[in-house]
Amino acid sequence: MPPIVSKPTLPEKVVIASRESLLAMWQAKHVQARLQQLYPGLVVEILGMTTQGDRILDVTLNKIGGKGLFVKELEIAMEAGQADFAVHSSKDVPMQLPAGFTLAAIGEREDPRDAFVSNRYADLTALPAGAVVGTSSLRRECQIRSRFPQLVVKPLRGNVQTRLRKLDEGQYDAIILAAAGLRRLALTERITSLLPTEASLPAVGQGALAIECRADREDLLALLAPLNHPETAACVRAERAMSRVLGGSCQVPLGGFAEVVAGQLQLRAFIAMPDGSNMLQITLHGPVDEPEMLGQRAADALLQQGAANIMAALDDAHPG
């Protein structure tokens, strides 16, 4: 007889750790509603937290330690037993998770594209020389500088509402935001135009939600499994594998976007210098059930093109 495998007992109550921004809380409430639909008797509470990344708004992320600042406090809450799992934007999750943590589920992807937002101009091509574009992302900055060297790119921090306010106050002629966040906050009308992925390759994981928990919580892994969207998860895993090899962080201007095309996983990726120079690009295909292998192949191909030289130059510019 086959051995009897006991299923983990599902919890009766769970606590979601979340940042307190409107977008983060929307994401946590979205997962809360999905779980209550799946498990009518389950009590699902949300623990709102302010992270270091939310508190430091006058310095760009690449100078203060990167997007990991948005998740560290949530992981501490999980370790301390104050929360069971955390809901993140996938693009905010560091490529290397701390020991003992895992991504239990990747939710279905929203629109992965970048959105051009302006009160005066239709798109990037309409901006006059010297126009100021705001973005918090080296990935977006280097792609803009590569295609539109006549534009001025300036840092833009804060939550979505703060960024829109700075645009409306006239501090910028245009700003670039993730379309997914604007859609989730019912701010679709603020999208002036969408940047095709060919013109602005998205961030790794952009548009997808990631649910993180302790790896030893088999009850949570079973509870959260129905929230995993297999196609999105394969795409994000390929993107993250590529970025992990190339040291993907806020200090490295790189993008990665995978999608299922004709039954295969297609991964497009690039790495460049912040000023848009020396941009290396790759497009590869592979089986949907081997996403990490495809990500590794893409990273290897970029390394063969000279990605290591870019990474070394960035290390010299940001020692430690």
Instruction: Tell me phi and psi for residue 134, to 5 degrees.
Output: -100, 135
Task: Name the region of 299 (left: φ>0; alpha: ψ -120 to 50; beta: rest).
Answer: alpha
How far from 36 is each of 29, 32, 208, 300, CA to CA, in Å?
10, 6, 20, 43
Within 8 A by CB and 6+ apart from 62, the residues are 138, 249, 250, 251, 318
Q: Which of 54, 92, 111, 173 is catalytic?
A: 92
DSSP string, 151-193: SEEEE--S-HHHHHHHHHTTS-SEEEEEHHHHHHTT-GGG--E
Of 240, 241, 238, 243, the C-alpha closest to 288 is 238
Q: How far apart are the first and last CA of the chain?
A: 57
Of 262, 259, 254, the C-alpha closest to 294 is 259
Residue 175, token pair as written in the block: 């700003």
What angle (nearest 5°) sits at the alpha carbon of residue 72, between those of residues 182 and 46? Answer: 60
User: Residue 289 catalytic?
Assistant: no
Of 57, 88, 60, the C-alpha closest to 73 is 88
What angle (nearest 5°) sits at the alpha carbon of residue 19, between those of residues 15 and 25? Answer: 75
Residues in the chain, total: 320
Residue 70, token pair as written in the block: 């948005």
E-strand stretches of 42-171: 43-49, 85-89, 101-106, 114-117, 132-135, 152-155
| Burial of residue 39 (number of CB atoms within 10 Å: 0-12, 13-18, 19+) | middle
What is the set of active-site residues? 92
